[in-house]
Amino acid sequence: MQKLIVNGGKRLRGELKLQGCKNSSLPIMAGTILCGEECVLDNCPELTDIYSASRILNGLGCKCRFSDNRAVVNSADMNMTEIPEKLMREMRSSIIFMGAILGRTGECTVSMPGGCELGSRPIDMHISAMRKMGIDVKESYGKIICRAVSGKAHGAKISLPFPSVGATENIILCAVTADGETIINNSAREPEICDLCGFLRACGADIHGDGESRIVIKGKNKLHGCEYRIMPDRIAGATYLAMVASTGGEIILTDACVAEIEPFISVLEQTGCSISTYDDRIYLRSGSRLKAVRDRIRTMPHPGFPTDAQAVLMSALVNADGTSIFEENIFDCRYRHTSALIKMGADIQVLGKIAIVKGVPELHGANIEATDLRGGASMAVSALTAEGTSEISGISHIDRGYEKIENAVRLLGGDMQRV
Ligand code: EPZ
Closest residue to atom 1 of ligand 1, CA basis: 165
Predicted local distance difference test score (pLDDT) of residue 394? 97
Residue 16 binned pLDDT confidence (cut-offs 50, 70, 90): very high
Residue 258 binned pLDDT confidence (cut-offs 50, 70, 90): very high
Phi, psi (rounded to 5 degrees) for 378: -65, -35
Q: Where are the alpha helices (DSSP H) in 176-233?
A: 191-202
Taking residues 4-23, report their average pLDDT: 97
Mutate to test the pocket of ligand 1, among 165, 172, 194, 329 (most ligand atoms within 8 A of CB): 165
Predicted local distance difference test score (pLDDT) of residue 156? 98
Closest residue to atom 18 of ligand 1, CA basis: 164
Phi, psi (rounded to 5 degrees) for 154: -120, 160
Taking residues 332-352, report their average pLDDT: 96
Q: Give the lowest-confidence range in 17-21, 113-117, 251-255.
A: 113-117
pLDDT of 260 higher than 70:
yes
Q: Which strand ranges, in their side-by-side order, compose the sheet holding 181-185?
A: 157-159, 181-185, 214-218, 206-208
Any ligand 1 atom below 6 A from CB of 310: no
pLDDT digits (tens, 9 = 90+) for 91-110: 888 999 999 999 999 999 99
Predicted local distance difference test score (pLDDT) of residue 128? 96
Residue 115 binned pLDDT confidence (cut-offs 50, 70, 90): low
Q: Which residues are catalytic?
A: 116
Predicted local distance difference test score (pLDDT) of residue 333? 87
Residue 141 binned pLDDT confidence (cut-offs 50, 70, 90): confident
Ligand 1 centroid to 386 CA: how many Å? 31
Any ligand 1 atom below 6 A from CB of 333: no
CA–chain centroid gap for 373, Å, is 9
Taking residues 381-394, report their average pLDDT: 98
* The model's pTM: 0.97
pLDDT of 316 higher than 90:
yes
Ligand 1 centroid to 351 CA: how many Å? 22
Any ligand 1 atom below 6 A from CB of 256: no
Predicted local distance difference test score (pLDDT) of residue 160? 98
- What is the average pLDDT score of the chain? 96
Ligand 1 centroid to 308 CA: how many Å? 10
Closest residue to atom 44 of ligand 1, CA basis: 164
User: DSSP code of 176?
Assistant: T
> For residue 306, which atom of ligand 1 is closest to its CA?
12
Any ligand 1 atom below 6 A from CB of 42: no
Give percent above pLDDT 90 in the chain. Answer: 94
pLDDT of 120 higher than 80:
no
Predicted local distance difference test score (pLDDT) of residue 250? 97
Predicted local distance difference test score (pLDDT) of residue 119? 61
Predicted local distance difference test score (pLDDT) of residue 113? 85
- CA torsion, points 109, 111, 116, 120, in degrees to nearest 10? 130
> For residue 121, which atom of ligand 1 is closest to its CA?
27
Taking residues 33-53, report their average pLDDT: 96
Predicted local distance difference test score (pLDDT) of residue 116? 61
Neighbours of 138 (CB within 10 A): 10
Ligand 1 centroid to 165 CA: how many Å? 6
> For residue 127, which atom of ligand 1 is closest to its CA?
40
How many Å is the maximal CA-CA distance in the chain? 65
Neighbours of 62 (CB within 10 A): 23
Any ligand 1 atom below 6 A from CB of 125: yes
Phi, psi (rounded to 5 degrees) for 31: -65, -25
Any ligand 1 atom below 6 A from CB of 401: yes
Predicted local distance difference test score (pLDDT) of residue 118? 58
Q: Which residues pair with 357 in a beta bridge?
A: 324, 348
pLDDT digits (tens, 9 = 90+) for 359-368: 999 999 999 9
pLDDT of 117 higher than 70:
no
Check if the beta carbon of residue 363 is closer than 8 Å to that of residue 319: yes
Ligand 1 centroid to 349 CA: how many Å? 25
> For residue 162, which atom of ligand 1 is closest to its CA?
38
- ∠ at Cα 238 (232, 239), nearest 5°? 105
Any ligand 1 atom below 6 A from CB of 124: yes
Residue 33 binned pLDDT confidence (cut-offs 50, 70, 90): very high
Q: Half-sphere exposure (CA, 13 Å, Cβ side) for 148?
A: 23
Predicted local distance difference test score (pLDDT) of residue 345? 98
pLDDT of 42 higher than 90:
yes
User: DSSP code of 271?
Assistant: G
Q: Which residues pair with 148 in a beta bridge?
A: 135
> For residue 374, which atom of ligand 1 is closest to its CA?
22
